[in-house]
Structure 1
Amino acid sequence: MKLVIANKNYSSWSMRPWLLLKHYGIPFEEIQIWLQKDDSAEQIRKYSPSGRVPALIGDDGHVVWDSLAICETLAERFLEHPWWPRDANLRACARAVSAEMHSGFGDIREAMPMNIRMRRPSIGEKAGLHPSVRRIDTLWRESLARSQGPFLFGEFGIADAMYAPVVMRFNSYQPTVLTDEARAYAERITALPAVREWIAASQDEPAIASYDAVA
């Protein structure tokens, strides 16, 4: 099984399935393609029909693209791991919370692009971003209250992986409106061994000027 990803410092979508595979100790081959090189698009299309990463290539050569679709595919294949909560109501909530991240928060993506090496708290102070930050904060707190933690729905799962890149963004841009409970959750995510491994690998990657030029 192979997982095609881009730069760990910048590729939030790549981070999600990679974290789950690492956290659960599922063997896979990592294929990393640097973004914004002359042949980046060509190299990605060799593996991904959408021209985007990540892409999961199964043992039989079948390709699944899109982070959430990859996560669902892995959940069907490796039933021994707690990808989703066992309780039906919690599972429905976890899917809704994950889907909201998958399809929403465009303002956060645009104003706070994932850049693990960056520290720019002035971005997090922008009042226009605060409604989305507060919504994420609420989703985290309500999920933790339902499950009693320590992760969104008890054990680390797909919902946490969907929000791990948001934690990286909040670490970089430091929005001031986060509650203490949300900050504590972000600290737990950041401390996970798989997340620490991803962060460590991001430190020596080549910089991309357009990603680093956040106003």
Structure 2
Amino acid sequence: MSLHLIIGDKLYSSWSLRAALALELAGVSYSEQMIKLGQPDTRALILQYSATGKVPLLQTEHGTIADSLAIAEYLNEQFPAAQLWPADIAARAQARSACAQMHSGFFGLRANLPFDLSHDQALASMPAEARADIERIGALWAECRALAIESGPYLFGPLSLVDAFFAPVAVRLHTYRVALSAEDAAYVEAIYQWPAFKAWQQAGLEEVQG
């Protein structure tokens, strides 16, 4: 199967990161194309591939799939042997719920702690809406761990799609030096040690140098 992923800058595009990590979890080969964000021709370039005007986009033999969550579910269907969701029914339901909550919420976190792999400084003052999101994220991660039936450093033990979706959150918490519980700090560190994430991070930081 031929898969082609269209992304934004690795330094700044959190949604592109999610899709790329999902592909890495699936263990499939794919080609990659970057469209720089925030440029005068960005939208026009993306519209050549999708009417959404947004990245990521995954070109497949079944058409172009827009949106990271749709890409994740497509990969889950096409590559069942990869076991992208937890095997346990309750854990799988919670994992999907957590991803959906991340996908459609946490606007205070997004607005006040923008994704930037090169950032390394705490906010002088954490806005209330961002603090509320961070507290909810900690509770959500605890809810995931409570349903894990396998051991491992990730939210449900072994890596799964939920970790791909929360990797950009881990970046925000790390790069803005947010104080975390020991469990949450260990999870953020686990994300930073994930080889697929490390490769993306390095490529993103090289964009700064370029």
Task: Give the letter aligned to residue 44 of structure 1.
Answer: I
- Are 1:169 and 2:176 an aligned pair? no
Mind listing any 5+ residue stretches in structure 1 that lack a counterpart?
A: 208-215
1:53-92 correspondence runs (5 A): 53-60=55-62, 62-92=63-93
Contact 2:25 2:160 in 1 (8 A): no
1:166–1:137 Cα change, 3 Å: same
Task: Measure the CA separation in 1 of the matches of 2:75 and 2:170.
Answer: 23
Residue range with higher mean Cα deviation, 42-51 or 4-13: 42-51
1:85–1:35 Cα change, 3 Å: same
Q: Secondary structure at the match of 2:123?
A: helix
The match for 1:96 is 97
Q: Secondary structure at the match of 1:116?
A: coil
1:204–1:123 Cα change, 3 Å: farther
Q: Cα deviations across residues 132-187 of structure 1 (Å, max 9, x unaligned)? A: 101101111221232154211222111111100001111111222x2110010010
Q: Secondary structure at the match of 2:142?
A: helix
Task: Measure the CA separation in 2 of the matches of 1:109 and 1:142.
Answer: 22
Task: Measure the CA separation in 2 of the matches of 1:59 and 1:52.
Answer: 20
Task: Give the letter aligned to residue 47 of structure 2.
Answer: R
Task: Measure the CA separation in 1 of the matches of 2:105 and 2:171.
Answer: 17
Aligned equivalent of 2:163, options 153, 160, 166: 160
Aligned equivalent of 1:14, options 13, 16, 28: 16
The match for 2:206 is 204
Task: Measure the CA separation in 2 of the matches of 1:32 and 1:51.
Answer: 14
- Are 1:110 and 2:100 an aligned pair? no
Contact 2:109 2:133 in 1 (8 A): yes
Contact 1:123 1:173 in 2 (8 A): no
Mind listing any 5+ residue stretches in structure 2 that lack a counterpart?
A: none
Identity of aligned residues (%): 38
Contact 2:122 2:178 in 1 (8 A): yes
Residue range with higher mean Cα deviation, 182-191 or 22-31: 22-31
Q: Cα deviations across residues 87-121 of structure 1 (Å, max 9, x unaligned)? A: 11111111111111011100101001100101121
Alpha carbon RMSD of aligned pairs, Å? 1.6
Contact 1:124 1:173 in 2 (8 A): no
Q: Tell me the matched-pair count.
A: 205
Contact 1:111 1:123 in 2 (8 A): no
Contact 1:13 1:54 in 2 (8 A): yes
The match for 1:131 is 132
The match for 2:196 is 194
Task: Measure the CA separation in 2 of the matches of 1:124 and 1:149.
Answer: 34
Residue range with higher mean Cα deviation, 10-19 or 149-158: 149-158
Q: Secondary structure at the match of 1:152?
A: coil
Task: Measure the CA separation in 2 of the matches of 1:135 and 1:170.
Answer: 13
